[in-house]
Structure 1
Amino acid sequence: MVDLPHSLEAWFETRGWQLHPHQRDMLARKDESALLLIAPTGGGKTLAGFLPTLAELGAAPAPGLHTLYVSPLKALAADIKRNLRTPIDEAGLAIRVEDRTGDTSSHVKKRQRADPPHILLTTPESLALLTSYEDAPRMFAGVQRVVIDEIHALAESKRGDQLMLALARLDALCPGLRRVGLSATVDDPAAIAALMAKHPEPCAILTADPGPEPDISMLVTEEAPPWAGGGAAYAIPAVLREVKRHRTTLIFHNTRAQAELFFRNLWLANEEDLPIGIHHGSLDRAQRERVEAAMVAGQLRAIVCTGSLDLGIDWGDVDLVIQVGAPKNVKRLVQRIGRANHRYNAPSKALLVPANRFEVVECVAALQAVRDRDLDGAPRGPGPRDVLCQHILIAACAGPFDADALYAEMTSAGAYAGLSRAEFDACLDFCATGGYALRAYDQWQRLAQRADGLWQLRDPRSAARIRQNIGTIQDTDTLKVRMRGRGGTPLGEVEEGFAASLSKGDTFLIGGQVVRYEGLRELVVEVSRDPGRKPKIATFMGTKFATSTQLSARITRMFQQDGWPELPAHTADWLSLQRKVSRLPEPGRLLIESFPHDGRQQLVAYGFAGRNAMQTLGLLLTKRMEEMGLAPMGFVATDYATLIWGLDAVTDPAPLFDLAALEAGLDGWLAGNALMKRTFRASATIAGLIERNLGGQRKTGRQATMSSDILYDTLLKYDPDHLLMQITREEAMRGLVDFSRIREMCARVGDRIDHMALDRVTPLAAPLLLEPGRVPIRGTADERLLEEEVTRLLDESGLAQVDAPKTRAWRVPY
């Protein structure tokens, strides 16, 4: 085999293994400065990434760090370490491999800095922390390669931005560093390559044989899905049948709360006591590790899970993946189904389980996209400036720096290639002084410029505090949950807000068991077992998925078919009835339906812009209706539509969708909204203005919220154009309110609005009436209803004829 040590060649031969073509190509192209490998799940991507390292270290072993491996998951790094040790040990190679994550002990971390291994497996946060030490130049002096696994997952978040800035720092410490990115699900290879390479250098792209088509279909159930809801309880009998027919089944859910509920329902129906586990990010680490060990050992028949098992870990003999609920994103679905039959040229087997009637359509659209290899994604735009501020502080921790050199270094990271010098200087000024409104406070005077022009920490002792707060992952405000009593078993975490809503005796689900709330002790929720009562569902933030733009477009194209033979009869009949009594949404047009129901006038806008955007649209449309003298009372939103109810019928909806008016309404709504304060807290924490960890102690969510709210109110009043206020608005627009998708919808539709004024509820609108999460609107509708009620009472009492002063209406407070 090309360039491999003889002992490693012999090891491959004893196992009867041959390198795949893309693995041989990786060896042949090992000297390229940047290379992106796109290969199917189970295709040996990770081994391909490490083969040049094994070849070089096997031929000329030398002390010191040779290769960095960066993973989005701590568990993935640990798994790679186990898998990599096998060929190294059995081939007798003198290569040290170690991992370094948040779980690594402090004494091991200290030893690794003094005596680094040949191969270090780590995460973006741990790598950023390593670059902050004064001895970073010595530790990284010999690094030759960086392997970035599951790069698509990192590219979609601020963790990827942090990683690329850390790699820019490494490039300055060790010129000639080679970068390798690995992924199975890349929607835009050129964009990922540009992000990964050192700007403006090119990045080569190597695409492997995609392998066989996956065996993926919809689960056939005896019962039809409900009109609304997300639990998929109707499918439990059919899911259990599939679990019995397979060796190990992963049952994916989009949220942790849905996973908990489904696991409980599955367990109650599990009359044969099949071994079934649950795995998600809010569970205690020891419990997750027990489930992982049982999976690897083949001791579990099924695991109910979330995104915690999405990525490339080889979890034993999994031969079936079930996705419960519409996947929302084709790329995520491909990643998940790749967990089954995790071998090269072995088709993955997966089943989709829609949670409700509309999700049947979305699941079929997702199936078609997978078969067409049509992955979805969205451009992320320029790198966020809160991450850049953190990187400036990290650089200062490592020692004095030159601003010109640091600016050049940062703009070599792809996401920051367009960063202007003025934007950089504003971030530097913020890090040095806190900005105009805060420069009088010593706690934010963190950097000082020396006489020679270099910048350094004003107080060297602040380096420890900065290091304690490195990272871009924003934990939700959670409290630990453990069994009552000394040394009680830890179970995981729940949100602070959920814990605050509990009274003694309340029960909730966590880790698949029903527990009884006993009280709060030293910021720990103490519970006892109480399996006999109906539980609440614990609040787990996790990730809230919105249907991708590409998947939404597929759904509206499906609506244009004459018939739907690919859909179950109940869903095809539902769409046919919608076409008969109204019409179906069309690409490039906006369907609006209005009709009376339950004594109120209803308006439905089928925008297909994703849940966040449709929620924001509901807020903005009701505000516009108030301004136009209409009387909205509330709204509810899904991924595909927004339903508004009120007192007045809308006869001409076009003025409601004036983009300039919607943007003006958004500005006014955002300024004083609690959403902005949460966004500000996250960005201020990343940028270093707010410290969550201080002296080894972590602030409670309430403490962090109070301090950030005071800062937000202060800046809003005295310095509304402060850098962090700019960043907060950018972040809110980018993700939480998803206004870019509303803007895109308005641009795509223009004046092509189809308004259907009807006399009754339509089939497509009916599920919206059952949707939870209704948002009431307090405004003119309350005043009118109050006046009508007063008038009715006066009529009934006979006082209506009395010449009394006119009744004064008032606005009902929130």
Structure 2
Amino acid sequence: MTLPARFQTWFDSRGWQPHPHQLDMLERADDPALLLIAPTGGGKTLAGFLPTLVELAEGGHQGLHTLYVSPLKALATDIRRNLTMPVTEMDLPVRIEDRTGDTSATRKKRQRADPPHILLTTPESLALLTSYEDAPRMFAGLKRVIVDEVHALSESKRGDQLMLALSRLDAMAPGLRRVGLSATVENPAAIASELARHPDPCPILHADPGPDPDISMLVTEERPPWAGGGAKYAIPSVLREVKRHKTTLIFHNTRAQAEIFFHNLWLANDEDLPIGIHHGSLAREQRERVEQAMVRGDLRAIVCTGTLDLGIDWGDVDLIIQIGAPKNVKRLVQRIGRANHRYNAPSKAILVPANRFEIVECVAALEAVRDRDLDGDPKGPGPRDVLCQHILIRACAGPFLAEDLYREVKSVGAYAGLSRAAFDDCLEFCATGGYALRAYDKWQRLKQTGEQWHLRDPRAAQRIRMNIGTIQDTDTLKVRMRGRGKPLGEVEEGFAATLTPGDTFLIGGEIVRYESMREMTVEVTRRADKEPKIATFMGTKFATSTQLSQRILRMFRQESWPELPEHTAGWLALQREVSKLPEADRILVETFPHDGRQHLCAYGFAGRNAQQTLGLLLTQRMEELGLHPLGFVSTDYATLVWGLDQVPDPAPLLSPDTLREEFETWLMGNAVMKRTFKTSATIAGLIERNTPQVRKTGKQATFSSDILYDTLARFEPDHLLMRITREEALRGLVDFGRVEEMLTRTAGRIDHVDLDRVTPLAAPLFLEPGRIPVAASGAQRMLEEEAARLMEAAGLSG
């Protein structure tokens, strides 16, 4: 396929020339699968759609021709707006529509009966479309599927669900071509294998990456604090940068940090520059107002989180500021790409370390960006809770043969190694709920008649469709202004439970006062007259990637650090003089007394979740050895434990075999398992968050999931969902895989340095929030010793 004259004329009329990779996509239009990696602003979306537009320009195609899938609803809307321009200006006979959770029910119904030529949607909406009996008719003429930001989808269960849905489309539309688009892929071959229908990767087209970004670290006269994540010290410098640029995106790693920074930025904004805030816990109406203002160019700065990570062209952004260490190089590159959305123009970005150690991490991240060294973890086998949901979705569409569905599922890369026995386990679970639950009618959902499987009760299809998706809502409550009912966003149930009338908190950058709870809604007013609490937003709490941690450890091997500010280089040099710096193939353990307590600091560089898990395991082991631990705190790079007794030799505490054994014991009795079970049970369809009558509150869902967990743990501990829960817990909340990586990397080699005082590298941990007390024998011994001192002071004994 070549570029028709009509299209060349359109390019000429806008003063453009098609990029080589856009023409390459035309030439390779008939490839069964193709991955395009092109920089932000390089026209990759038009490149993906160009073959479709050329084919449709000839006219005559009836029904759906191309399906576009993106991870964000807003991205689908943005693409529709951008695609409409060439279609309108060339007067092409092409109808384009989007279909997301925001699309009206009437329009959705009409789209199934009379689909457009190009449909823009999300993984969840696509899964829902495949669940209808008329899906084969809707998708029969489908020629191409375009998956945008394919790297973002491949990292989550949404990507697994999408690839399973694509396997269904293949069955309904033989010869379907797949196109993947991305700007940031750390392992192109792995993504290309996912796009292909077999182990061999599909062809990969690499566009010219363009110039290196103009990226630097902010250096201020005021030194960063030793701990914390707010970067309040840098606000005057950030404001100066905002004034010097047209539009600045100020990224944060968590929603709570974004709220705090926006509040402090606004207080310092003496010139009343128009500044907005955008994150996933804000009301949709508020997010849309900010988005529209950005497109119009009305805002000078937007404080934001991951909601603006991906490829939406938000007007004239010419600067990215990343507050806090980026934790992940690939995410940083994605964010940098939001600036200067033009091909062959360098993006400008500034990193702002929130504390002293983050200076080191920011320098390591800058080096990785310059080396184009992206990070990422290898993808594991396809999650079986997602497969269970897929089986139920397939049943909604009509009867099926198990052999046919198994063959489809096996064509998906993540499920290529799935055994027939494992598939049948999932099928049996979907049919009966499993041995311990088969007596309950509500989980008797599938039935086999002859060789065909089908829904036992067709009315169950509505309930299954209402619960499609892998994104699990946190247990949140709506926040509204009292009287006017203006929606502001959401806060967690746990946070709302701590509020009493008169309490104030931050949401959407403004301080509001809690007045009452009404019909599961938090009612507030603007009568704010005291220091606000910070609303808790789950969001994503990033851990420093393995690759970035390794770069930091390599930096520690240097003789000196000319790339670091003098105060930070001096801090590391003092650590080397007083103790030593951590090494990649060894665990550094420091022990020292401080403030009447004995302390142990273990530097594992395994990420916050893994270091926290390590803290739980160390204190449990110390308790068993009679060392009376009192508590611990963790960061991405270390765990600090304090207690009553000195640890003479840390080697037994960090023995790989001992830690694994302790972990198994700890995990089974921990709330982590129940939280993970609730998530997997909801995805797998055992627990319904949405029903035709009412949506369950988080507490109701938790209550029912806790009862189910306890029942299965007692009567069927080997139930499929219990096995899934353990697998998910290991790689999710507790990140034991990173602990394993640390144990493998260090192979039992420990550097134990026993000192008489706190070390420079350990000192910031004393200032870290999130200290976790250990309610064990150490606390009891302290009470007994205090009681003895009091009695002695009173002249009593015995």
**What TM-score results when the alignment is normalised by the length of structure 2?**
0.99
Q: Secondary structure at the match of 2:653?
A: helix
Deviations 1:183-204 (A, max 9, x none): 1110111111112221246411
Could you tell me which residue of structure 2 aligns to residue 206 of structure 1? 205
Q: Provide the residue aligned with 1:371 in structure 2.
A: 370
Match of 2:85 in 1: 86
Letter in 2 for 1:114: A
Q: Matches of 2:508 and 2:274 in 1, distance apart?
A: 15
User: Residue type of the partner of 2:701?
Assistant: A
Aligned equivalent of 1:333: 332
Kindly provide the CA deviation profile for residues 135-189 of structure 1, in whole angstroms up to 9, marking residues without a partner as x.
0000000001000000000000000000000000000111111111011110111
CA distance in 2, matches of 1:751, 1:431: 44
**Structure 1 position 459 matched with structure 2 position 433:** no
Further displaced range: 2-11 or 707-716 = 2-11
Q: How does 1:99-114 map to 2 (within 5 A)?
A: 99-114=98-113
Range with bigger deviation, 42-51 or 661-670: 661-670
Among 732, 751, 755, the alignment partner of 1:735 is 732
Superposed displacement of residue 60, structure 1: 4.0
Residue 552 of structure 1 corresponds to: 549
Decide whether the 8 Å contact of 1:608 with 1:639 is kept in 2. yes
Matches of 2:414 and 2:259 in 1, distance apart? 37
Which of the numbers 467, 474, 477 marks the counterpart of 1:476? Answer: 474
Aligned to 1:624: 621
Q: Which residue of 1 aligns with 2:593?
A: 596
Q: How big is the alpha-carbon RMSD for the aligned residues of Structure 1 and Structure 2?
A: 1.0
What residue number does 1:582 align with? 579
Q: 1:704-760, CA deviations, whole angstroms, 9 ceiling, x for partnerless residues?
A: 111101101111111111100101110010111010111111111013210000000
CA distance in 2, matches of 1:37, 1:605: 43
Could you tell me whether the CA contact under 8 Å between 1:7 and 1:92 is conserved in 2?
no
- Tell me the amino acid that sits aligned with residue 605 of structure 1: A
**Structure 2 counterpart of 1:453, which letter?**
E
The AA in structure 2 aligned to 1:601 is Q
Q: Hey, what does 2:537 align to over in structure 1?
A: 540
Q: Which moved more, 1:547-556 or 1:51-60?
A: 51-60
Matched, 1:141 2:140: yes
Q: Which moved more, 1:532-541 or 1:700-709?
A: 532-541
Matched residue, 2:785: 788
Distance 1:317 1:793 in 2: 69
Q: CA deviation at 1:65?
A: 0.4
Cross-structure match for 1:706: 703
Structure 2: which amino acid aligns with 1:477? D
Match of 1:719 in 2: 716
Work out whether 1:166 is the aligned partner of 2:182. no
* 2:38 aligned residue: 39
For the residue of structure 2 that corresponds to 1:762, the secondary structure is coil
Q: Which residue of the partner structure matches residue 666 of structure 2?
A: 669
Report the AA paired with residue 323 of structure 2: V
Alpha-carbon distance between aligned partners in 2 of 1:518 and 1:258, rounded to the nearest angstrom? 24
Residue number in structure 1 paired with 2:683: 686
Whether contact under 8 Å (1:34, 1:179) holds in the other structure is yes
Counterpart of 1:252 in structure 2: which amino acid? F
Residue identity in the other structure for 1:739: F
* Sequence identity percentage: 76
Alpha-carbon separation, structure 1, partners of 2:473 and 2:668: 24
Question: Equivalent residue of 1:690, what SS?
Answer: coil
Q: Secondary structure at the match of 1:281?
A: coil
In structure 1, which of residues 634, 638, 642 is the aligned counterpart of residue 639 of structure 2? 642
Distance 2:334 2:793 in 1: 66
- SS of 1:657 mapped into structure 2: coil
Maintained 8 Å contact 2:194/2:201: no
Is residue 37–residue 182 contact of structure 1 (8 Å, CA) maintained in 2? yes
SS of alignment partner, residue 585 of structure 1: coil
Deviation at 1:793, TM superposition (A): 3.3
Which residue of 1 is the match for residue 75 of structure 2?
76
- AA aligned opposite 1:772: P
Counterpart Cα distance in 2 of 1:10 and 1:103: 36
- Contact 2:655/2:748 (8 A) holds in 1: no
SS in 2 for 1:423: helix
Of 497, 510, 515 in structure 1, the residue corresponding to residue 494 of structure 2 is 497
Question: Does the 8 Å contact 1:200/1:412 carry over to 2?
Answer: no
Structure 2 letter corresponding to 1:126: S
Query: Secondary structure at the residue paired with 1:654?
Result: coil
Partner of 1:308: 307
* Mapped partners of 2:503, 2:529: distance in 1: 12
Counterpart of 1:768?
A: 765
Partner-residue secondary structure (3-state), 1:43: coil
Could you list the per-position Cα deviations for residues 82-124 of structure 1 after superposition, in whole angstroms to 9, with x for gaps in the alignment? 0000000001001000000000000000000000000000000
Match of 1:811 in 2: none
Query: Aligned AA for 2:130?
Result: T
In 2: Cα distance, 1:734 partner to 1:615 partner:
14
Q: Deviations over 1:745-776 (max 9, x none)?
A: 11110132100000000010000001010111
Cα deviations by residue, 1:552-573 (Å, 9 ceiling, x for unpaired)? 0000100111111111111111
For 2:538 and 2:140, the matched residues in 1 are separated by 41
* One-letter amino acid of the counterpart of residue 491, structure 1: L
Mapped contact 2:2–2:23 kept (Cα < 8 A): no
Deviation at 1:14, TM superposition (A): 0.6
Shift of 1:8: 2.4
Question: Which stretch shows the higher mean deviation, 741-750 or 55-64?
Answer: 55-64
What one-letter code is carried by the residue in structure 2 that aligns with 1:527? V
The separation in 2 between residues aligned to 1:7 and 1:198, in whole angstroms, is: 35
Q: Say which SS state the counterpart of residue 98 (structure 1) adopts.
A: strand
User: Which amino acid is 1:700 matched to?
Assistant: T
Letter in 1 for 2:167: A
Aligned position for 1:812: none
TM-score norm. by structure 1 comes to 0.97
Instruction: Report the counterpart of residue 747 of structure 2 in structure 1.
Output: 750
Contact 1:4 1:54 in 2 (8 A): no
- Large movers: runs of 4+ above 4 Å: none
- Equivalent position SS for 1:17: coil
Distance 2:4 2:459 in 1: 48
Q: Take 2:784 and 2:270, find their aligned partners in 1: how far apart are those partners?
A: 59
- Match runs of 1:134-533 below 5 Å: 134-200=133-199, 202-450=201-449, 452-485=450-483, 487-533=484-530
In 2: Cα distance, 1:201 partner to 1:224 partner: 51
Name the amino acid aligned to 1:607.
Answer: G
Instruction: Note if contact 1:275-1:302 (Cα within 8 Å) is conserved in structure 2.
Output: yes
Deviation at 1:532, TM superposition (A): 4.1
CA–CA distance in structure 2, aligned partners of residues 672 and 748 of structure 1: 28
- What displacement does 1:696 show? 5.1
Q: Against the structure 1 CA distance between its residues 343 and 696, is the aligned structure 2 distance closer, same or farther, given a 3 Å change threshold?
A: farther
Amino acid at match of 1:732: A
Deviation at 1:441, TM superposition (A): 0.4
Aligned length: 798
Query: Are 1:513 and 1:531, in contact at CA under 8 Å, matched by a contact in 2?
Result: no
Task: Determine helix, strand or coil for the equivalent of 2:652.
Answer: helix
Cα deviation 1:383-416 (Å, max 9, x = unaligned): 0000000000000000001001100000101110
SS in 1 for 2:164: helix
Query: Structure 1 CA distance, aligned partners of 2:328 and 2:184?
Result: 11
Q: Provide the C-alpha distance between the structure 2 equivalents of 1:288 and 1:672, rounded to a whole number of angstroms.
A: 41
C-alpha distance in structure 2 between counterparts of 1:565 and 1:55, whole Å: 55
1:224-262 superposed Cα distances (whole Å, 9 cap, x missing partner): 100001110000000000000000000000000100100
Quote the Cα distance in structure 2 between the aligned partners of 1:301 and 1:785: 55
Partner of 1:808: none
CA contact (8 A) 2:59 2:93 kept: no
Residues 326 and 696 (structure 1 numbering): CA distance in 2 closer, same or farther, change over 3 Å? Answer: farther
